[in-house]
Amino acid sequence: MKKWVFLLLILCCLGIAGNIFMNQAPMNRAPMNQAPKVESEKYHQNHKDHIGKRGTSESTKTVTITKEQIYQGNLLLINSKYPVRQEGVKSDIVNLSIHNELVKGYGLLDKNIYLSKEVAQKFSEMVNDAEKEGVNHFLIVSGYRTFSEQNKLYEEMGPSYALPAGYSEHNSGLALDVGSSLTKMERAPEGKWLKENAWKFGFILRYPKDKTDVTGIQYEPWHIRYVGFPHSAIMKEKNFALEEYMGFLKEQKSITTTIDHQVYKIFYYPISQNTKIPVPANGQYEISGNNMDGVIVTVYSGKQD
């Protein structure tokens, strides 16, 4: 009985009517309210100079990417076709209730909310920014779930309300369900604020109302996913679901985006075996797998005059 009361409380907080469903430096900077300018360019996979062009004198080095790295990182596509693997689970999962420094500006539904520490820090920064605009009733309802917890939820709730273990983004530590202590998220100021501003902090609304045919999941105004900046900005500007963004990167191979005078270069590399790829010798970059067939290299290229 207690179990169903708890589940009902979760449903009420969220307003759910359907599926519950290397010198590397972080580059997730909150930008100004400026739309990104995205330029695409084709290149040959064995051409190493593209990393350091656009007028820079940046030298490059090569790093070896193993096939296992396809399944690790912040840009993993997790859906009914591509489940997260155990190696894809964030390594910095913590219990938020015992980390007061992470729980600032928002509440927790209970004392057993787990999440990636990196993601929790970004969420805290985001809700503190929202508070400046008087939006301050955020509540984390659900975060990371182990595979066994997901299986139990699936067995108890059924396929209409839950996903099997591995097929839920909650199994990665990158996703969280956010509620409001005022009302359902689809009506709450918190839900409206997230829809317009989450991208500035590297988050996306994973299951938008106009993308149900792409994601296969009904509209969930409470479910946000961390992908990192500038990817969240590009997805917001182009109105991409994560599935569409991954397809866009594979098609374009290389894109350059300028946001608030900062230049970012993003490269997609298919990986079928251990492969050497070029990266900046001294500059900042990040590498993430896409959970399908390759990796995405994001390079911070500095200021543009």
The residues annotated with a catalytic role in the active site are 220
CB distance 242 to 223 below 8 Å: no
How many other CB atoms sit within 10 Å of the CB of residue 86?
9
Tokens 């396929």, residue? 159
Q: How far apart are CA 245 and CA 236, in angstroms?
A: 10
Q: How far apart are CA 96 and CA 119, in angstroms?
A: 11
CA atoms within 13 A of residue 146's CA, in its CB half-sphere: 6
Max Cα–Cα distance, the chain, nearest Å: 66
CB distance 76 to 232 below 8 Å: no
Tokens representing residue 267 in the block: 């490269």
Provide the 3-class DSSP secondary structure of residue 80: coil
